[in-house]
A and B are shown apart, each in its own frame.
Chain A
């Protein structure tokens, strides 16, 4: 696990997480939550919707993708959810996407993807609070990629356990 990551996100270790990718600058959290691993989605760089720093700009992006506001982070069969974060000025900071096993996937800016048990794992000084949940009917086109993510999730957990088991006892 990563001491730097756990320092930046004080709740993440207690919540439970695994690092699921190498670091890459190719895409960021909004792109990843939207299912695009080929672009960095940010106003001024690439932003397929009304531009802005506030949460409305981010909810607008996901509304355009078919998401509607919903109550919370509970897993709902047949739906996929995103959690949208904002700071105390109301500016969006982060987006995470729920997987079909109930865990969440987040791309941490220019760094790695992680899988985390709940959206609360990333609340804090850097990303602020979860301010909005949105959901849409699971897209047929996303079923394969979600399946791949679940397989990747399983492999990441197995790898983490393998590394832990190979750490020599002190």
Chain B
């Protein structure tokens, strides 16, 4: 886990919020979020890297959205969702949140 100074944390959080707003708008009405992996906003989110993982997990806890799963996988290379829960958005969000807590993220 990368340790950031408070100033760096604030900077990452601000950049994340701006990108998150754009990402949610970009994925509006779309049933195929996976098709947006080449989208500039997706690329910018993934480029922020591990420091935004806990921010995404908080977003998932507050309101599960499909569009976050591909970003989390893009950053971490992982997919902790059991096959039995594939497609069940609330259960997928819980799997990611549990994954984050097991790795020490404050969610």
Contact = CB atoms under 8 A, between A and B. Distances in A.
Interface of A: 4-5, 8-9, 25-26, 28-31, 38-46, 53, 91-95, 107-111, 126
A5 B32 CA distance: 18
A38 B69 CA distance: 17
Nearest to B90: A26
A53 B87 contact: no
Contact of A110 (B34, B66, B70): B66
Contacts of B70: 44
A91 B36 CA distance: 12
Contacts, number: 74
Interface residues of B, number: 22
Q: Which of B32, B66, B67 has the most CB of A within 10 A?
A: B32
7 contacts: A8-B29, A29-B31, A39-B87, A40-B66, A42-B31, A93-B32, A111-B29
Interface string B18-31: 00000000011111
A42 B56 CA distance: 21
B47 interface: no
B101 interface: no
A25 B87 contact: no
Contacts of A110: 27-30, 65-67
A25 B28 CA distance: 11
B10 to A, nearest CB: 29
B67 A45 contact: no
B87 A41 contact: yes
A94 B28 CA distance: 13
Contacts of B86: 39, 45-46
B84 to A, nearest CB: 11
Nearest to A48: B87
B5 interface: no
